[in-house]
């Protein structure tokens, strides 16, 4: 277990690409940079086991479902119609799927999921950037 912990801490370092976020106590996730990196790996060439293919497909499918959900939010509708100033805190909560009662760890997990989901979508990325700027207290 210690070898895994050392590898994860190493992958978190700037000089190693900041591929993961988190820690041993709170858990680990791929960072947006890590997600970009993992998408460049040809998993078929590395291993032919079906479990790897299913996991890769499952991640992509989950991200597509989440992108679809994000595009159905009021924040998205206001953003694409140019009504940035009309986006309210409640719209942020709907977009991020959090509320004022979420603990920090749960919020940060949701934010990491969103960051990974929007990385390949220019509009959603810009909206997420705007929401983080507009509601900085919610991001802390």
If asked whether residues 102 and 92 sit together in one domain, one would say yes
Query: Are the beta carbons of 50 and 43 closer than 8 angstroms?
Result: no
Overall pTM > 0.85: no
Report pLDDT for 47: 59
Listed residue (87, 91, 39) closest to 63, CA to CA: 39
Longest dimension (CA), the chain: 50
Asked if 33 and 46 sit in the same domain, the reply is no
47-61, 71-85, 113-127, range with the lowest pLDDT: 47-61
Q: Residue 84 has what DSSP assignment? A: G
Give SS3 for 27.
strand
* Together in a domain, 93 and 33: no
Identify whether residues 61 and 33 lie together within a single domain.
Answer: no
Q: Are residues 36 and 46 in the same domain?
A: no
Q: Judge whether residue 95 has pLDDT over 70.
A: yes
The confidence band for 45, taking pLDDT boundaries of 50, 70 and 90, is low
How many C-beta neighbours within 10 Å does residue 117 have? 22
The verdict on 23 and 70 lying in the same domain is: no
Q: Same structural domain for residues 120 and 77?
A: yes
- pLDDT, position 55: 57
> Do 15 and 78 belong together in one domain?
no
Which pair of tokens denotes residue 94? 């709907």
State residue 131's pLDDT score. 98
Assess whether 126 and 103 both reside in one domain. Answer: yes
Count of domains in the chain? Answer: 2
Supply 120's token pair: 């390949």
Same domain, 81 and 102: yes
Q: Is there a single domain that holds both residue 33 and residue 86?
A: no
So what's the pLDDT on residue 41? 72
Q: Which domain holds residue 1?
A: 1-40
HSE (side-chain half, CA atoms, 13 Å) at 4: 5
- Could you tell me if 26 and 69 lie in one domain? no
């Amino acid at each position: 277990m210690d070898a895994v912990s050392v590898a994860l801490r190493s992958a978190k370092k700037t000089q190693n690409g900041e591929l993961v976020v988190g820690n041993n106590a709170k858990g680990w996730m791929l960072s947006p940079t890590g997600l970009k990196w993992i998408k460049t790996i040809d998993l078929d060439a590395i291993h032919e086991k079906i479990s790897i293919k299913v996991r890769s497909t499952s991640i992509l499918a989950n991200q597509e479902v989440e992108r679809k959900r994000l595009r159905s939010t009021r924040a998205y509708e206001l953003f694409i119609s140019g009504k940035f100033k009309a986006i309210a805190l409640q719209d942020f909560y709907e977009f991020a799927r959090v509320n004022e009662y979420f603990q920090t760890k749960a919020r940060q997990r949701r934010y990491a999921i969103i960051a990974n989901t929007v990385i390949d979508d220019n509009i959603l990325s810009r909206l997420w950037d705007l929401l983080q700027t507009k509601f900085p207290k919610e991001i802390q």
